[in-house]
Structure 1
Amino acid sequence: MRTILLAIALAGVTPANADVLKSSDTGFATRHIQTIAAPPAKVWETLLHPDRWWDGAHTYSGNAANLSLDARPGGCWCEKTATGGVEHMRIVYLADGATLRMVGGLGPLQAMPVIAVLTITLKPAAAGTELTADYAVAGPGLTGIAAPVDGVLGGQWTRLKAAAEH
């Protein structure tokens, strides 16, 4: 998976609405902001079903249909695999229709001694919904990984936008 992340970064696949806010060998923070041409309720419903929008190439099983999100505090963003499963993130804060905050390292970060927090907020906007996704990661060994992670996340938010607008 790290090879995929690096290939995406080298290809420059990062949406214009993305930003690595800070990056060091001990942490990084990214932010993605998008306007989605759909009402907040529809975006929220889509967000809660990662199996509908997450790219299967960025899963352990290779199939996004194996993803699920138990939308409650303590709920798991999990994935079924042929030999068991994966907990990608755990919900620590949920304000229905407005904010979803989860902790957990995505992709190669899961095997690293880091703490990571993803906060997704939705706000009504004139053209539909403004989505802001902030991902903050702290721990050792993070040199050079911020841009690749940001690139992968940017692709996921683009997919979420397309699914919600469909």
Structure 2
Amino acid sequence: MQSGIRRLGWHMASAIVLLLPQTVSSKVSSADATGFTIESTASVPVSPHEAYAAFVDVARWWDPVHTWSGNAANLSIDARAGGCFCETLPDGGSVQHMQVVYAAPGEQLRLVGGLGPLQEQSVAGSMTWTFAPAEGGCTIGLTYRVAGRIEGEGGAESWAAPVDFVLGSQLERLSKLLSGH
């Protein structure tokens, strides 16, 4: 009986851990008609090098809803200067989502470009991912700065919250992968 109760206790503890809020925060730190900045962080229980390695294996954690092909397995990041955050499409097609301009394995990766529908706008984007040691693992930081002319009502400011939601969701998925959830 005691071992059954103990087992039940472990199962309940495991369920509670799964229900605890993730340590991910995301916010629009600035936005106006000509641009916006998104800042997000996540605490994960792995080393910066492990987090970086999982990050560049983007097909394992990126939400397929936010791909052109509908399949995250078609995504890749060539984590070196000049490398591509790319996606293969049917019939030999491809997409360059962003280009790597700075790569320091286990520390930082910077990419430039406009994600998704921002590609067809007159904008420049810079996305920096950082991986810093922290108690119990590491902190992943994400900053995405977009500036330029975006057509439509509200300009760039109207895009800030949706982009924040998508990137925050992606960081949440990476965090869950690294946390074993």
Question: Same fold per TM (> 0.5)?
Answer: yes
Equivalent pairs counted in the alignment come to 152
Counterpart in the other structure of 1:78: 86
Q: Distance in 2 between matches of 1:57 and 1:114?
A: 23
The ranges of structure 1 where at least 4 consecutive aligned residues each deviate by more than 2 angstroms after the TM superposition are none
Task: Give the unaligned 5+ runs of structure 1.
Answer: 1-14
C-alpha contact 2:24 2:171 (8 A) present in aligned 1 = no
Counterpart in the other structure of 2:34: 26
Counterpart in the other structure of 2:166: 152
- Please state which structure has a larger fraction of its residues in helix: 2
Q: Distance in 1 between matches of 2:120 and 2:31?
A: 19
Q: Distance in 1 between matches of 2:121 and 2:90?
A: 23
Q: Distance in 2 between matches of 1:154 and 1:44?
A: 17
Task: Give the unaligned 5+ runs of structure 2.
Answer: 1-22, 151-155
Structure with higher RCO (Cα < 8 A, 6+ apart): 1
C-alpha contact 2:36 2:157 (8 A) present in aligned 1 = no
Post-superposition offset of 1:143: 3.3
Alignment of 1:56-75 (within 5 A): 56-75=64-83
Post-superposition offset of 1:107: 1.1
Q: Distance in 2 between matches of 1:93 and 1:74?
A: 8
Post-superposition offset of 1:16: 6.2
Counterpart in the other structure of 1:3: none
Q: Distance in 1 between matches of 2:179 and 2:47?
A: 9
Counterpart in the other structure of 1:161: 175
Q: Are 1:130 and 2:144 an aligned pair?
A: no
C-alpha contact 2:24 2:43 (8 A) present in aligned 1 = no
Q: Distance in 1 between matches of 2:139 and 2:157?
A: 31
Find the residue that maps to 2:149 and give its secondary structure: coil
TM-score by length of 2: 0.81
Q: Distance in 2 between matches of 1:27 and 1:143?
A: 6
Post-superposition offset of 1:34: 1.1
RMSD: 1.2
Counterpart in the other structure of 1:108: 117
TM-score by length of 1: 0.88
Identify which of 42, 56, 60 aligns with 2:50.
42
